[in-house]
Amino acid sequence: MSNDATTAAEGTRRLTVGQALVRFLASQYSERDGVQQRLIAGAFGIFGHGNVAGVGQALLQNEVEPAAGEDRLKYYLARNEQGMVHAAVSYARTRNRLQAFACTASIGPGSTNMITGAALATIDRVPVLILPSDIFATRFPDPVLQQLEDPRSLDISVNDAFKPVSRFWDRINRPEQLIPSALAAMRVLTDPAETGAVTICLPQDVQAEAYDWPLELFRKRVWHVARPAPEPAALARAVAIIRAAKKPLLVAGGGVIYSDGSAALAAFADATGIPVADTQAGKGAISCEHPASVGGIGSTGNDAANALASDADVVIGVGTRYSDFTTASHTAFRNPDVRFVNLNLLAFDAAKNSAEMVVADARAGLEALTAALQGYRVVESYSQRVAGLVADWARVTEECFHRNAAPLPAQTEVLGALNELMGDDDIVINAAGSMPGDLQALWRARSPKQYHLEYGYSCMGYEIPAAMGAKMAAPDSEVVAIVGDGSYQMLPQEIATIVSENLKVIIVLLQNHGFASIGGLSESRGSQRFGTSYRMRDGESDRLDGGYVPLDLAANARSMGADVLEVATIEEFRDAYRKAAVSTRTTLIHIETDLYGPNPPASAWWDVPVSQSARLESTRQAHSEYLEHKKDQRHHL
């Protein structure tokens, strides 16, 4: 039975802004290829005075006394607002951007804690609905607790800081503004070319304000996710370039996976013989077992993909934004005559490297290209070169995976054990530190969803909350977050949320007492690993060069309700993984690894500028090496 107050005006319903928003969100659906699903799968939140009585009351009412025909918008209580946005992004990514979460936070710090997550979503092009609470629209009690006061304008709040990291941003100062805003927000969330963080700021008084809403607002609404086909003339231009190619290389980005384009990519590679390299977001778009798959490209790529990139006369970028890691800071593609053909939903990305642009859905575009390229195939000697390079790198991978390093295992051995133990449909998650590089070079992904690397924002702290989001999105998959000790210390607290939701994930914590990644980078750029390991301040030197900080991260995870297995060797690690896999409880496996590697051999450069002037010899030396590498950098005009 409806418990909403009815109004005199027919066809309207009197609800607060919070109630109307919740009811609206529960009625939204997305559709692609004939399959419909709820667009907003639920709401993460943390309440404070900014949202407890507005959006919070609405979520309560939706849970305990919904109106007739009102669907549930399930509420999840997170521990940190940044973490909940990461979880939401991971959920949406796992669902190929067809479903998203709402995130409600209180005003001030609760809301600004979401900015990092919003930036990550927008950079990674993954939908999330951000609902920061805002200062009073009436301005009566100003300054409310946690209000930023700006003498230049009473219209500014901390939530203005979401503007550059949101694809859509609005503030609801009057109830009726919600109508156009909510509709615009859904359109952006479901537009694969525009999607990212969508932010609707909700002043705390307006959240609780009642209005007579047209009932039509709450009808089921289906947002169709488009698959734009290439324009025939653009396709023809692209085909002419590819047909003339002798040494083409396709670079598969995350767009291939989001478009569910793996079968189309495999068919393209089968028909043309064109080798396929992958980016961090695109790994798994083609199975590592496909003969055309050459693995990771760029700064953290492998020798096979990078050798092919270096020689390629035509590079076909599909669903990629060409990050500096992919292009090795514009040193990867060295053929003086190289040309680019980019297939992307976003014209902005399609235009990169002065490419012939094909603005289209990745799957639709690949299908069109395959059809239009009929009869074209790379020559046999090129295919043989590809196979030889791939076989060479497979040997390096085997070595890295089975090093038997002592006394501490190398992290590549842990990654190798996971790669062997995890199933095709399981999901490995990582974001920052030295592991993304090792994974990009070595991991052999056998399905499009197995490899979940957040490397657009490479945000430390993403892994654990992301494991929660991925598990919610793929309950039948084993979800494994691999996390460094630095990343763990940024954001471990969603373990408590994972436990409270009865979710089972596996967290693998690699303890190396510092930053293997930035430590190595620091050393190679002449900065002597300064400030990159977790050590005590020494009483005599007054520097951070004492013993290890006596930190017990295993106990930390245990304190939040995870089972913890502490292991020292790779054999013990394998056993622990098997135990964790059959357990129904969230388990963290703690293993100490060697801060100094060895890591896979690097075959490409990354531009990190070195001080042009220094007293330190290490820096001067690194600067002259830097200048050597700079010579290889080029624009593609």
User: Whole-number minimum distance, CB 438 to Mg ion, in Å?
Assistant: 12
* 214 three-state secondary structure: strand
**Facing residues of 342 across strands?**
317, 357
Q: Residue 364 or residue 553: which is nearer to Mg ion going by CB? A: 553
Asked if 434 and 411 touch (Cβ cutoff 8 Å), the reply is: yes
Sheet holding 40-46, edge to edge: 75-77, 40-46, 100-105, 128-134, 197-203, 168-171
Subset of residues 527 to 586 that bind Mg ion, contact rule: CB under 5 A: none
Nearest approach, Cβ of 300 to Mg ion (angstroms)? Answer: 17
Nearer to ligand TPP (CB atom), residue 82 or residue 302: 82
> Is-contact 434 520, C-beta < 8 A?
yes
Would you say the C-alpha torsion 371, 365, 323, 420 has a positive or negative sign?
A: negative
Task: Give the shortest CB-479-to-ligand TPP separation in angstroms.
Answer: 19
* Closer by beta carbon to Mg ion, 500 or else 528: 528
Residue 459 binds which one of Mg ion, ligand TPP, none, with CB within 5 to 8 A depending on kind? ligand TPP
Q: Is the separation of the CB atoms in 352 and 323 below 8 Å?
A: no
Task: Report, in Å, the least distance between residue 519 CB and Mg ion.
Answer: 8
Which of ligand TPP, Mg ion, none binds 284 (CB below 5-8 Å, type-dependent)?
A: none
From Mg ion, ligand TPP, none, which one binds at residue 466 (CB under 5 to 8 Å depending on kind)? none
**Among the listed residues 66, 456, 484, 526, the single contact to Mg ion using CB under 5 A:** 484
120 within 8 A of 462, measured Cβ to Cβ: yes
Q: Quick check: helix, strand or coil at residue 128?
A: strand
Residue 494 binding target from Mg ion, ligand TPP, none, CB below 5 to 8 Å by type: none
d(CA 245, CA 314): 6
Which alpha helices (DSSP H) does 302-445 contain, by range?
A: 303-311, 324-327, 347-350, 362-372, 380-401, 411-421, 435-442
Closest CB 506 distance from Mg ion, rounded Å: 19
- Nearer Cβ to ligand TPP (87/459): 459
Question: Rounded distance, CA 581 to CA 463, Å?
Answer: 18
Contact residues for ligand TPP (CB under 6 A)? 432-435, 458-461, 484-487, 490, 512, 515-518
Coil/strand/helix, residue 22: helix
Which is closer to ligand TPP, CB of 259 or CB of 511? 511
Q: Does 170 bind Mg ion (CB under 5 A)?
A: no
Distance in angstroms (rounded) separating the CA atoms of residues 282 and 208: 44
Whichever of 170 and 485 has its CB closer to Mg ion, that residue is 485
Shortest CB 510 distance to Mg ion, Å: 6
Among 356, 478, 485, 594, binds Mg ion (CB under 5 A): 485
Residue 533's binding partner, choosing from ligand TPP, Mg ion, none, with beta-carbon cut-off 5 to 8 A by kind? none
Work out how close the CB of 605 gets to Mg ion at its nearest, in angstroms, rounded to a whole number: 23
User: Which ranges of 47-177 does DSSP label H, i.e. alpha helix?
Assistant: 55-64, 81-94, 109-112, 115-124
482, 429 in Cβ contact below 8 A?
yes
Query: What are the beta bridge partners of residue 92?
Result: none
Q: Which is nearer to ligand TPP, 13 or 525 (CB)?
A: 525
Alpha-carbon gap, residue 608 to 585, rounded angstroms: 42
Q: Which is nearer to ligand TPP, 318 or 516 (CB)?
A: 516
DSSP structural state of residue 230 = P
CB of 485 to ligand TPP, least distance (A): 4
Question: Nearer Cβ to Mg ion, position 45 or 484?
Answer: 484
Which option in ligand TPP, Mg ion, none does residue 390 bind, with CB closer than 5 to 8 A by kind? none
d(CA 109, CA 298): 38
The residues facing 6 across adjacent strands are 13
Name residue 428's beta-bridge partners.
Answer: 451, 480
Query: Using CB distances below 5 to 8 A depending on partner kind, what does residue 235 bind out of Mg ion, ligand TPP, none?
Result: none
**Of ligand TPP, Mg ion, none, which one does residue 435 interact with (CB within 5 to 8 Å by kind)?**
ligand TPP
Q: How far is the CB of 329 from Mg ion (least distance, A)?
A: 24
Pairing of strands 12-16, 35-38: unpaired
487's contact among Mg ion, ligand TPP, none, with CB below 5 to 8 A by partner kind, is ligand TPP
Decide which of ligand TPP, Mg ion, none touches 517; Cβ closer than 5 to 8 Å per partner kind. ligand TPP
Q: Which is nearer to ligand TPP, 207 or 487 (CB)?
A: 487
**How far, in Å, CA of 598 to CA of 154, rounded?**
56
Binders of Mg ion among residues 45 to 84 (CB under 5 A) are none
Name the residue among 344, 362, 365, 364 with its Cα closest to residue 353: 344
Phi, psi of 481 (to 5 degrees): -95, 125
**Residue 508 main-chain phi, psi, to 5 deg:** -110, 115
What is the nearest approach in angstroms of ligand TPP to the Cβ of residue 518? 5
Sheet holding 451-453, edge to edge: 451-453, 427-430, 479-484, 506-511, 587-592, 563-567
Residue 197 binds which of Mg ion, ligand TPP, none (CB < 5-8 A, kind-dependent): none
Q: Which residue of this chain has its Cβ atom nearest to Mg ion in the complex?
A: 484
- Taking CB under 5 A as the binding criterion, the range among 121-129, 316-324, 421-429, 478-486 that sits at the site for Mg ion is 478-486
> Does residue 279 belong to the site contacting Mg ion (CB under 5 A)?
no
Q: Which of Mg ion, ligand TPP, none sits in contact with 432, Cβ below 5 to 8 A by type? A: ligand TPP
Q: How far is the CB of 516 from ligand TPP (least distance, A)?
A: 4
> In whole angstroms, what is the distance from residue 578 CA to residue 24 CA?
44
Q: Which is nearer to ligand TPP, 192 or 469 (CB)?
A: 469
State which residue, 146 or 512, has the beta carbon closest to ligand TPP. 512
378, β-bridge pairs:
none
- Is residue 330 classed as helix, strand or coil in its secondary structure? coil
Q: Which is nearer to ligand TPP, 109 or 388 (CB)?
A: 109
If one asks whether residue 512 binds Mg ion (CB under 5 A), the answer comes out as yes
Residue ranges in contact with Mg ion by CB under 5 A:
484-486, 512
